[in-house]
Structure 1
Amino acid sequence: MATDLNKIKEKTILNTPALVEYILETSAYPNEHQQLKEIRAATLEKYKHMSIMNASADEAQFLSLLLKLINAKNTLEIGVFTGYSLLATALALPEDGKVLAVDPDREAYEVGLPAIKKAGVEHKIDFVEGSATPFLNDLVNKGKEGIFDFAFVDADKENYINYHEPLLKLVKVGGTIAYDNTLWFGSVAYAEDDEIFKNDPVMGFVKKNGYEAIRKLNTFLANDPRIESSLLSIGDGITLCRRKY
C-alpha cells in the first residue's frame, strides 16, 4: 500500500496542482490553527505519505465553518487517525460542546493528542478505542437516538453503508451526516473496466480498495428518501446528508 500511496501528493480530485496550491495557500493554510499545523507535521513525520488519511486542510476549514453555521453542539466522529479533523471539530464547537469519537487505533490518536491538549480542547473530546459498528449499535441501544447534531465519517469505506442506518437514528431530524472520500481519488467517475485502472498503478490500487463500496454508497445516498444530500468536490469528495425525518 505504501508504495502506491507514495505517488499521491495531495488527497484531492482537482487535476491542476497549481489550483490546489492556490486554494491551500490563499485560504486554508492562513486560517489553519497552529495546533492543526502541528498535527499535520507530526502525522507526516510518523506516517510519511499515509498522512493523506487525515482530512485535507481545506476540507477541515469547510467542516469547521459548517459546524458553526448549524450551531452544532453534540457531534460524532467515526474514524479518527491522528485527530486532524477531530481537533478541527473540537475547536469549532462551543465551550460546552462535545465530540464523541471512535477508532480502533489509539496509538495513531495519541500522535495528535499533545496538540489537542495544547489547543485546550481535550475536555470537548470523548475518544473510544474500538470498532464503529458495535459502538454505534450500543449508542442506539442505550437510547441515544436523535441527540447528535452532526456526524463525520472517515473510516473503512466498505462499512460506510452499514454505518448509515444507526447514524440516521443517532443524528437528529434536521441534523447532518458527512461522509468523507466519496470521490475516492476521482476513481468513481470511471467504469469498472476502464483502462485507467490497468494503466495507472495508483488507480489500480484505489480500485481494489474502496472503489466498489464508495460507488455503491453514492448511489444509495442519492436515492435515500430519508435524506437530502449533496456530493461536494472538496478534498477527496465529501457528501453532506441532512436527515429529513
Structure 2
Amino acid sequence: MKLLLFLISTLPLCAVSYVGDFDFSPGRTDDEIRVTGSATLTTPGTYSADSIRITGDLIISTPGTYRIETTAGTFRVSGSITGPGAGTTLEIEADDNLTSFTNGVTISFYTPEPEPEPADAPLLNISTRADIAPGKNLQPGFVVGGDIPRRVLIRAIGPGLAQFNITTAMPNPRLRVFQSGEEIASNDDWNAADAATMAAVGAFAIDAGSADAVAVLTLAPGAYTAIVDSATAGQGGEIILEVYFVN
C-alpha cells in the first residue's frame, strides 16, 4: 500500500536535520525533525517531535502499531508511506495543520488476499462427428484417468441425428469398445434401460427402439478405443460418437 501525504505549516524555532536515509527509534524530542531522504521506523512504538518533515518516503520495517505525535502539528511526507502487508497500523496525531488533517488519522497496511484459482473442472464428456464411408469405420481413443474405476456412457448416434435435420446419418451404427486390442463390449441397437443414465448426464434424447448404439460400462483406469461402423454391410453416413463420464 502506498499513501501520499503533503501537509504544510510554519517552521519551528529549532530543527534537527538528517541528510540521507535515516532510521528512527521510538522516543520523544521537542525539536523539529527534518530528513532529506527517506526515514525508516524500525520498532513499533510512539515517535514524538515538535514536527516532522520528510522529503522522501516513510518506511515501516516490521509489523506492529506505530504512533507519530507532533506537538506543533506539522507532519509532512513528500514521498510515500509503505509498510508490511499484514498486522501494521500507523497512527498519526498532527493537530493545527492548515488542512483538514486535525483529529489524527490511522493508516492500516494490509496484504489483499489473492483471488483463489478456479478449481480444474473435471471432464464430463467428449464427442466427435464424422461421415463414415461404406465399409469404413471410426476409431477414436479415450482414457479413463484416476485410480478408481469410472462408469462411462458411450453412444454412437446415427438415426438420432434426424432431430437436428441431418439427412445423411448412418441408418444402423454399431459400437464396439476395445482395450489393449481386446473387445470388451459391443452394442448394435440401444437398450431402453439406458435412458435414465442418458438423462442423468444431460445427453440429448433419442427415440425408443431406434437403431442408435449405446453402451453403459464400468471401466478401470486406462486407455480404450471405441470403434464405430455400420451394422449393415454397404452402408455409411454421419454419426456422432459421445463418451460421458457418469460418476
Give the shorter-chain TM-score range.
Answer: under 0.3
The structure that is helix-richer by fraction is 1
Provide the TM-score with structure 1 as the length reference.
0.22
Provide the TM-score with structure 2 as the length reference.
0.21
